[in-house]
Amino acid sequence: MRGMCYRCGAVDELIDGLCPLCYRQENPLIEIPERVEIEVCHMCGSYKRKTWQTPKSEDPYEIVDEIVRWAIRDNIKSRGEVEVEIYPNISQLPGGKRSKLIIPVEIIARGKLPEEKEEREEKKKVEVHLKMVQCPRCSRFMSNYYEATLQVRAMNRYLTEEEREELDKFVREELYRRLKKDRMAFISKFIPQREGLDYQLGSVGAARAVAQRIKQKYGGKVTESATLVGVDSEGKDLYRVTVSVKIPEYRVGDIVEYKDKYHLVSAITESKVYLKTIDERREKIGIPWHVAEKESRLIKKREELDKATVISTVPKLMAMDDKTYEVYEFDSNLEVKEGDKVKILKRDDRVYLVEKEEEKDESGDR
């Protein structure tokens, strides 16, 4: 509808009583303050939106770019079908605590409002002020804050040095992965113990998750306990949680005693250990870890077992000890041929046939 613009007096097609030019001046595509401020942690580079966010990149310039773009997105308002392009001009990086960094930003908006027929383009320049502070997570980290203790142990023995190194690396890698989901998944303090490893962690959830990951990979069991340490500002009880994970005493290929019989450890899962008797019956059973810990014990590690060479398979299996050259006779259905190597257990004045030795015995390696 044509008419006279009440703002400038021009005669043109009107939108809400205004000519197109005045309508654009009165109704911009986007609205945003000329100055936008956002808090950034000077220690870890996280930034505060509604909650504290961890940057996706580790490159300093990409981190600043991400922060600036979110500061713009969180403060910009559009009124119609509008596409927005953001161009930060990053020429320097933030300084230390309580410093500020001002990033000039050009915003280009293209689109139209519901009443308009033609699209238009608008440009706007704003400043994003990065206010350097210390985020709650880093503040807690610096004060040695922790919510949980993760204890890593082995059943009925101490961890070996090899296990200590491997498990420590595993724990740290798992926590690093969790930091993107759980900002409190940091190690406040690492305490090596004679019997194992202790980690004071900023997150109970992280302690539980890492313990379960250890159990999934190595087998064993997880237990949990809590200690009252005080009350919060609302009068609720505050607890510190201890999550303990115990890996098995033994590995696949080891010999254990269970219910007065010797068994070969044939498989280990998250919930059970699977055993096979080393007599002629070769009976297979699976027992939960809480039972295995109490009712079984390690007899011989797989690398400590003696070896023998098969010299005959009929009428009975005969093998010659590789060290003493003694010949042993077994009632066994073990599938071997002459010349094969087998593992044997010498125990209680008796020799037991354990299993055929594979060329690469790595099935139980951790």
- CATH number where 338 lies: 2.40.50
Per-residue pLDDT at 91 exceeds 80: yes
Tell me how far apart the alpha carbons of residues 270 and 262 are, in angstroms, rounded to a whole number. 22
Query: What pLDDT sits at residue 309?
Result: 95
Per-residue pLDDT at 115 exceeds 50: yes
Whether 257 and 219 map to the same domain: the answer is: no
Per-residue pLDDT at 100 exceeds 70: yes
Residues 6+ away with beta carbon under 8 Å from 291: none
Whether 222 and 153 map to the same domain: the answer is: yes
Boundary (domain end) residue, out of 137, 155, 176: 137
Whether 271 and 317 map to the same domain: the answer is: no
Asked if residue 270 belongs to a domain, the reply is yes
Per-residue pLDDT at 261 exceeds 80: yes
Asked if residue 126 belongs to a domain, the reply is yes
The residue range of the domain holding 309 is 305-360
Tell me how far apart the alpha carbons of residues 171 and 33 are, in angstroms, rounded to a whole number. 46
β-pair partners for 197: 152, 192
Asked if residue 3 belongs to a domain, the reply is no
Query: What pLDDT sits at residue 96?
Result: 66
Which amino acid is residue 213, in one-letter code? R
Q: Name all contacts of 320-326 with Cβ < 8 Å and 24+ positions apart.
A: none
Whether 282 and 226 map to the same domain: the answer is: no
Per-residue pLDDT at 335 exceeds 80: yes
Asked if residue 173 belongs to a domain, the reply is yes
Q: Are 255 and 278 in contact (CB under 8 A)?
A: yes
Tell me the mean pLDDT in the region 280-309: 91
Whether 151 and 208 map to the same domain: the answer is: yes
Going by C-alpha positions, the residue among 163, 254, 239, 173 that lies closest to residue 206 is: 173
Which amino acid is residue 229, in one-letter code? V
Query: What pLDDT sits at residue 361?
Result: 46
Q: In this structure, is the dihedral angle defined by the CA atoms of residues 112, 115, 116 and 117, taken in order, positive or negative?
A: positive
Whether 194 and 281 map to the same domain: the answer is: no
Asked if residue 45 belongs to a domain, the reply is yes
Q: Are 128 and 72 in contact (CB under 8 A)?
A: yes
Which spans in the chain are helix H? Answer: 20-26, 60-75, 136-142, 161-178, 204-218, 289-295
pLDDT band at residue 232 under the 50/70/90 scheme:
low
Per-residue pLDDT at 365 exceeds 80: no
Asked if residue 13 belongs to a domain, the reply is no
Q: What's the predicted TM-score (pTM) here?
A: 0.67
Edge-to-edge, what's the strand order for the sheet holding 187-192? 187-192, 197-201, 148-154, 237-247, 221-231
| DSSP assigned state of 193 | -
Asked if residue 327 belongs to a domain, the reply is yes
Per-residue pLDDT at 362 exceeds 50: no
Whether 101 and 54 map to the same domain: the answer is: yes
* Best mean pLDDT range from 30-39, 226-235, 328-337, 350-359: 30-39
Per-residue pLDDT at 98 exceeds 90: no
Tell me the mean pLDDT in the region 202-207: 94
- Backbone φ/ψ region at 151: left (φ over 0), alpha (ψ -120 to 50), beta: beta
Whether 103 and 36 map to the same domain: the answer is: yes
**Mean pLDDT in the chain?**
88
**What confidence tens digit (pLDDT) does each residue in 13-22 have?**
788 788 887 8
Query: What pLDDT sits at residue 366?
Result: 39
Residue with tokens 């009443």: 115
Edge-to-edge, what's the strand order for the sheet holding 120-133? 52-53, 47-48, 35-41, 120-133, 100-112, 81-88
Percent of the chain with pLDDT over 90: 55
Query: What pLDDT sits at residue 364?
Result: 44
pLDDT band at residue 314 under the 50/70/90 scheme:
confident
Asked if residue 108 belongs to a domain, the reply is yes
Residue with tokens 């942690």: 41
Whether 120 and 42 map to the same domain: the answer is: yes
pLDDT band at residue 293 under the 50/70/90 scheme:
confident
Q: How many separate domains does the chain show?
A: 4
Whether 118 and 70 map to the same domain: the answer is: yes
Boundary (domain end) residue, out of 284, 300, 316: 300
Boundary (domain end) residue, out of 246, 267, 284: 246
Per-residue pLDDT at 175 exceeds 80: yes
Whether 112 and 187 map to the same domain: the answer is: no
The CATH number linked to 283 is 2.30.30.60
Whether 271 and 294 map to the same domain: the answer is: yes
Going by C-alpha positions, the residue among 87, 188, 71 that lies closest to residue 139 is: 188
Q: What is the CA 339 to chain-centroid distance, rounded? A: 47
